[in-house]
Amino acid sequence: MKKSLNYWPVFLMVLVGLAMNAQSTPKKQKASTATKQKASTAKKPAPTDHRLRDYQQKYTDLTKRIESSEKAAKQASADYKAQAELKQKELQEELKQLAERNSQSRDASRKAIEGYRKQQAELHKLMRERRSEVQAQQYAAEKAARDAASKKKKAEAKAARDAAAKKQAQEAAAAKAKREAAAKKKADAYKAARDAAIKKKAAEAKAAREAAAKRQAQETSGAKAKREAAAKQKAAAKKKAPKPAAKKSGNDLKQKKSSFPRK
């Protein structure tokens, strides 16, 4: 940090010189360019076109602005040079003061570093001793932790085996009970289905018998009604039938036939 403070004024002086060089060269080139542009505009005659005159007027205005900007740049460069020379003198004085301070701080730092190195040597010795103690304690703690972890792991494995055996026995008992319940449910369902089928079959047979008896009774009553109707029709026909008439002679028959109209 102190070394960087010693070199920064020199670095600033180099940058100032480079900036002055860079600004002087382009200004000369700009001045020559402006002079050439002014000479070229002076030689050309005034144009007759209105738009061309406007362009020329704008061009002339821009040339004047360039000249004023160049003058301002030259003045700024002169001011910059004067300020740079003043700053260089101030920086030289500061450099002398910084060099003296640097020498003093370097001596103080050297003495402080020697004291720090002595303290480091003592601390290094103490660190070696403490590291050995910590390693021994750490080894004992790790051994105790390994033994406890091994004991815990064995206990957990035994508990896991016992739990697995118990769970397996419970699952086997549950599976057996489930199978027995399923078998009982299946048998009950089969018996209920068989009883329902028998009951349904008996009901259907009873209904079929009743329907057959009803149909037979209907057929019997229908046949009886038909017979009675036939007997009534026969009796009525007998009543309506004419009695036998006396035999007529042949002339009467001829007269009767002649009385019918001819087709």
Q: What is the pLDDT of residue 4?
A: 44
What is the chain's pLDDT, residue by residue, as a tens digit (263 residues)? 444 445 555 555 555 555 555 454 444 444 455 455 555 444 555 556 788 888 889 999 999 999 988 888 888 888 888 888 888 888 888 888 888 888 888 888 889 999 888 998 998 899 999 999 999 999 999 999 999 999 999 999 999 999 999 999 999 999 999 999 999 888 888 888 888 989 888 888 888 888 888 888 888 888 888 888 888 888 877 777 665 555 555 555 555 555 545 54
**Which residues of the chain form beta strands (DSSP E)?**
none
Q: Which residue has the tokens 């590291």?
A: 131
Q: Which of 72, 69, 62, 74 is nearest to 28 (CA)?
A: 74
Q: What is the pLDDT of residue 214?
A: 85
Encoding tokens for residue 152? 């815990």
Rounded to whole angstroms, the Cα distance separating 263 from 261 reads: 6
Q: Are 24 and 117 in contact (CB under 8 A)?
A: no
Q: What is the pLDDT of residue 5?
A: 45
Contacts of residue 84, Cβ cutoff 8 Å, sequence gap at least 6: 16, 20
Rounded to whole angstroms, the Cα distance separating 11 from 75 reads: 26
Q: Which residue has the tokens 């103490």?
A: 126
